[in-house]
Amino acid sequence: MASASASPPANAHAPQALSKSTLLGGVGDLDAAVSLRLHALFLPVPRLLLKAFEVAGDGRIWLPVPISLLLISTTTSSVVSPLLVGLVVGLVLDLAFVGLAKLIVRRPRPAYNAADMYVAVSVDHWSFPSGHSSRAFLVAAFLADGGLPLPRELLFLWAAATSASRVLLGRHYILDVLAGAWLGVLEACLSNLILRFLCGRTSFLVC
């Protein structure tokens, strides 16, 4: 029989695994407790599936690809796709807003987060808000209004699944992904406003 004094594994779901943020206070403590419970409850979900959502919402895919397509379109055509311009604007806004918020709040990631994340810049060591959630909801909200032949429900289902995977993987707390989702929708609205402004003042955009 194992000794009762045996130390738990590093990812044990114990109260000390909760993280505190000065700015979030007691709300952060409650959020951490509920997030820990959800993470433990959904441990049977295949981690490979959750990591597939992680990759699908990764900024190292979503930022370079639209920028590359935009640069290619400017060299091959006199007309630039407003969809690409708006998406790039939104993604740049997202990078700035999320990075600033993380530096201000400085909430540590969950202690039970497994050490299998991709290499990240230092600002991404912080948890609030979730960049994956903000990016996913930005893309979903922007494309849903972009006239593409994609079901709105499918776009937002992907965004919601990507956000949920952050909590189930132990990368973020619930409040992180809710704040990220709200921020992403706001960024989509700002991107659309900027796009409309540019469309009225430039000739290379056919809107």
| Residue carrying structure tokens 């540019």 | 198
Dig out the tokens for 143 from the structure. Answer: 């494309």
Q: Which of 13, 39, 125, 132 is catalytic?
A: 132
| Concatenated DSSP letters of 130-183 | -HHHHHHHHHHHHHHTTT-SS-HHHHHHHHHHHHHHHHHTTSS-HHHHHHHHHH
| Concatenated DSSP letters of 64-104 | HHHHHHHHHHHHH-SSB-HHHHHHHHHHHHHHHHHHHHHHH
> Is 39 one of the annotated active-site residues of the chain?
no
141 CB-near residues (< 8 Å, 6+ apart): 156, 184, 185, 188, 189
CB atoms within 10 A of CB 73: 16
> Is 132 one of the annotated active-site residues of the chain?
yes
Q: Which residues are catalytic?
A: 132, 172
